[in-house]
Amino acid sequence: MGSAEAIDPALPTGRAGVDTEELGLLADPRLAVAIDQFNAGDWYGCHDGFEELWHETAGLCRPVLQGILQIAVGQLHAERGNRRGATILTGEGLGRLTSAPDRALGLDLLALRQTARTWLKALQEGTPLDELPPPVLARLQAPGGDL
């Protein structure tokens, strides 16, 4: 899967400077499925995948997974016309990701936070949402093209 250089240096490390929890998550096929579901707008499906991984995680990846799944549920609420629920979940998800590094789990969390802030502002201001691009989990390329 990914090389040691692809793992975020801000996360706690085990042997050889590699975060073993993050490595385990990157090797878990359920993470790739959940990311693909998120990027396809399958908010309910990806929520289930991220939640399952979140329940099995205890380290610094845990709030990252929870933040991502809360943003997904926020999108589901927005899709169903529940602006209040969308605002709450998007805000909570963004809050969890605020202290996360800009990259984790092979993902560009900086871009996700920026998109979530745009959504949160629109939700809070009552702005129409149909023109906003949905959040995306952009995969980062590691040296050599691996994740």
pLDDT of residue 144: 36
Domains for the chain: give ranges and CATH numbers: 20-130 (1.10.3450.10)
Phi-psi region of 29 (alpha: psi -120 to 50; beta: other; left: phi over 0): alpha
pLDDT digits (tens, 9 = 90+) for 31-84: 999 999 999 999 999 999 999 999 999 999 999 999 999 999 999 999 999 999
Query: Do residues 50 and 34 lie in contact, with contact meaning Cβ atoms separated by under 8 Å?
Result: yes
Q: With contact defined as beta carbons under 8 Å apart, do 18 and 4 qualify?
A: yes
Task: Report helix, strand or coil for 16.
Answer: helix
CA distance 82 to 79: 8
pLDDT in tens, 20-46: 999 999 999 999 999 999 999 999 999
Q: Alpha carbon of 144 to those of 28, 32, 69, 86: distances in Å?
A: 20, 19, 29, 39
The pLDDT of residue 4 is above 50: no
DSSP secondary structure letter of residue 141: P
* Angle of helix 61-79 versus helix 83-98 axis, rounded to 10: 160
Distance CA 71, CA 43 (A): 9
Query: What CA–CA distance (Å, rounded) separates 120 from 10?
Result: 27
pLDDT grade for 141, boundaries at 50, 70 and 90: confident
